Each structure stands twice: as C-alpha cells, then as structure tokens.
C-alpha cells in the first residue's frame, strides 16, 4: 500500500512540478459560472515561488493534490486599509511581497470539493498561522470570500451580511469557518475581486498573533 495513502493528507511546500495539478485543482474548486480569471496562471504560480517560496503550500493525499494555499508578506498598515485583491497581490503575481512585512496575507486557499469538510482547509490555515508566528508577523490578514451573500443580496448590504455572520445569525460557508479558527472581522472590502457568489465583496479578517 502507498504509505501516503495510508497516512492520509500531508502538507508540504509547493514545487514547480505541481503547477499543472494546482491548475486542475482550481478548475474543480471554481467551476462555471466562475470565470477563467479564478484559475491561477502557470506564470503566476511560478512567480509565487520566486517571491516567497515558504508561503506556498499544498496538501497531498495519495498521488493527488487536494488543497493549496498562497500567502505573502506585506506591511500591516497596508493590509488594514481598503484595498482590492488585485492591488494587494500585484494582480496575483505577489510582486507586492515585502520580505520584512509584519503581516502575513492570505492570498488564496483552495480545497478539492471531494475533500472539503475533511480537515484539509484547517491544516492549511494552521500551517500558515504557524508560519506567520515563526516569521514574527504581528497578524495574519485576508480578504474572506462571503459565498452565501448572493442568496440574500437583494435584502442586505454586504456590511449587514458580514455583521450577521459575525454575530452568528447567518452561516456563511467560508467566513463562518474562518471565524471559528479565531479570525475577527475588521470591515468589508467592497469590489474586492470579481466573484459571482460574493458579488465582488469580501470581509476583511484579522488574526492577531
């Protein structure tokens, strides 16, 4: 029996040879009506390794990649002011990475639909939080998707929705899980990134270290 299969999912650093499989994984995570812009380009995946290799993680199960996460470092003051995903990540290239940045920024996380709810996402979050602490960062910051928002958008603003999720009155498939890990909402990032489920909006979340 393959030892990796027996051991279950394990986490490791992303490698250049993972690029094609990561793109396949993201196709499964972001099917239509998500557009092609939701899928990392091979060029950007390789740039991530050049800018900040230790912040690029994958989870492997057997011979398959079932999860991936992308992070970079930026100044905390930059992370806490209004921004878009494109601005904060250099259009996904991580050209904005600052080796001395005091915030670890969660650029992306993707888990194979067949493996969601099986601890892969938590494994990636725990590894990134540990990395942030090891680097001496003051906080882990991210723009959290709010995929449940499109279902109530006609009745609620994104601010009202995020407030209701933070208060526990509404369950959001992404934000609610991040709050359970220990993140706190610091506001709403309007027009953060094109997304049919969030209508482009995100919650600014912070985990103080």
Instruction: Determine the pLDDT at residue 3.
Output: 40
38, 69, 120 from 123: Cα distances, Å: 22, 10, 5
Residues of the chain with pLDDT under 50: 1-6
Instruction: Determine the pLDDT at residue 7.
Output: 60
Domains of the chain, CATH where assigned: 1-137 (3.40.630.30), 145-209 (no CATH)
- pTM for the full predicted model: 0.93
- As a whole number of angstroms, the distance between CA 9 and CA 27 comes to 20
The residue written with tokens 């601010």 in the block is 159
Instruction: Determine the pLDDT at residue 37.
Output: 81
Instruction: Determine the pLDDT at residue 63.
Output: 84
């Amino acid at each position: 029996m393959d030892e990796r299969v027996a051991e279950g999912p394990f986490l490791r650093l992303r490698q250049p040879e993972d690029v094609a499989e990561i793109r396949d994984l993201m196709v499964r995570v972001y099917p239509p009506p998500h557009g092609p812009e939701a899928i990392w380009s091979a060029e950007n995946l390789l740039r991530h390794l050049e800018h900040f290799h230790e912040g690029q993680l994958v989870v492997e199960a057997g011979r398959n990649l079932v999860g991936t996460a992308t992070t970079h470092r930026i100044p905390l003051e930059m992370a806490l002011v209004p921004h878009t995903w494109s601005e904060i990540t250099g259009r996904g290239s991580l050209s904005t990475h600052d080796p001395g940045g005091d915030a670890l920024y969660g650029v992306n996380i993707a888990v194979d639909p067949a493996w969601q709810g099986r601890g892969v996402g938590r494994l990636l979050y725990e590894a990134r939080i540990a990395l942030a602490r090891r680097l001496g960062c003051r906080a882990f910051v991210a723009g959290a998707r709010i995929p449940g928002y499109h279902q109530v958008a006609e009745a609620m603003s994104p601010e009202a929705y995020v407030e209701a999720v933070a208060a526990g009155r509404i369950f959001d498939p992404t934000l609610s899980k991040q709050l359970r890990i220990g993140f706190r909402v610091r506001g709403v990032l309007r027009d953060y990134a094109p997304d049919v489920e969030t209508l482009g909006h995100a919650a600014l979340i912070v985990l103080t270290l």
